Amino acid sequence: MTVLSGDSFRGRKSDAIEPVGDLTLGRLMLLLALGAGVVVMEDLFRFALKLPGHHGLEAMALLAFARLSCNYRWSASIAAIGSASAAAALGVGHGALTPFLYLLPGLVIDIGVMLVPAWRSRVLWLPLFAAAGYAAKPALKWFALQGIGMEFGSLINGLAYPFSMHLVFGFTGALVATVAWKNWPRQHAR
């Protein structure tokens, strides 16, 4: 006969959930959901701030969480595939460039992580990669529009302002997510 101690079963405790792990079916679904969350949050929070790239706060925070939560080398790109798929399903975006604009930040983050193997040792690496990836979006739009001789939206006056704003918002969103992630185990241990 088993003696009951009143302790909860180890598998049911909240600390039994591993915050970082290998790519499993469950973690794949989480990554895709985080990516879809980028599009859903962008659609839900349509504030007329007139600041290009302000959705980088939530977008890069979610991609940073995706990258931090999985050991798989393309985890941010998988989340970005979730974003591109959600944008296609919801019919939102920037025309033919939409899939590329959602995939680009994830690819830049993952390539940055591969180039700097010790990226987890410093808080600023992931936000820097996220800023570069998010700023690549207006750069891609600008180069695509130069090819057809058109300019519109935030790029009407050139690339410098939208590029710098995407850098700032992308960096800030990923920094908030990274700091929260790094502090989570300490908060959780209390």
pTM of the entire predicted model:
0.82
Q: What is the DSSP string of 113-181?
A: HHH-TTGGGSTTHHHHHHHHHHHHHHHHHHHHHHHHT---GGGTT-SHHHHHHHHHHHHHHHHHHHHHH
- CA 154-78-36 angle, to 5 degrees, is 60
What is the predicted pLDDT for the residue at 17? Answer: 55
Among the ranges 53-57, 75-79, 92-96, 149-153, which has the highest mean pLDDT value? 75-79
- Residue 70, classed as helix, strand or coil, is strand
Give the closest residue to 125 by CA, choosing from 147, 102, 138, 108. Answer: 108
Residues of the chain with pLDDT > 90, as a percent, come to 46
Structure-token pair, residue 10 = 């180890």
CA 143 to each of CA 95, 98, 129, 136, 153: distance values in angstroms, whole numbers, following the listed order: 15, 14, 21, 10, 14
The model's pLDDT over 96-150, given as tens digits with 9 standing for 90+, comes to 788 889 999 999 999 999 999 988 888 899 999 999 999 999 888 877 777 665 5
What is the predicted pLDDT for the residue at 153? Answer: 64
Structure-token pair, residue 106 = 């994830």
Q: Which helix (H) or strand (E) holds 81?
A: helix 75-90
**Residues written for the chain:** 190
The model's pLDDT over 138-158, given as tens digits with 9 standing for 90+, comes to 888 877 777 665 556 666 677
Does residue 24 surpass a pLDDT of 90? no
